[in-house]
Amino acid sequence: MRHRSLARPRLFAVVVLAATPFLLSLVVGPSAAPTWPNDWPVELEDVRADAKTIDIVTGIQATIYQIPFGSREQFEAVWPGVLRAKSPGGTLTLYKVGSEGEGWPGVSNEQPAVRIYAPSNGSIVAPDVWGREPRAQPPAPEEVQALVEQGKALEAREPWPKSAYLPSGDLSEYVTSATVDGRMTWVPAAEAEEIRFRARVDIVLVVDGEVVDLNRIHLPPDTKIIDKRGLPGSGG
Q: What's the structural domain count of the chain?
A: 1
- 126 vs 66, higher pLDDT: 66
Instruction: Give the mean model confidence (pLDDT) for residues 125-133.
Output: 73
Q: Poorest-confidence range of 100-104, 129-133, 163-167? A: 129-133
Q: Poorest-confidence range of 19-23, 39-43, 85-89, 202-206? A: 19-23
Quote the pLDDT of residue 31.
52
207 burial level (CB within 10 Å; 0-12, 13-18, 19+): buried
pLDDT at 8 over 70: no
pLDDT digits (tens, 9 = 90+) for 95-116: 999 988 888 888 889 999 999 9
Quote the pLDDT of residue 133.
63
Residue 34's alpha-carbon distances to 7, 13, 15, 117, 219, in angstroms, are 8, 17, 23, 13, 26
The rounded distance, in Å, linking the Cα atoms of 100 and 123 is 32
Task: Give the three-state DSSP class for 132.
Answer: coil
The rounded distance, in Å, linking the Cα atoms of 85 and 199 is 13
Look up the pTM and report it.
0.82
Q: How confident is the model at residue 14 (pLDDT cuts 50, 70, 90)?
A: low
The rounded distance, in Å, linking the Cα atoms of 49 and 45 is 8
Comparing CA positions, the residue from 44, 39, 40, 10 lying closest to residue 27 is: 10
The rounded distance, in Å, linking the Cα atoms of 37 and 8 is 9
pLDDT digits (tens, 9 = 90+) for 17-28: 443 333 333 344
Quote the domain boundaries for residue 223.
Answer: 1-236
Task: Give the three-state DSSP class for 196.
Answer: strand
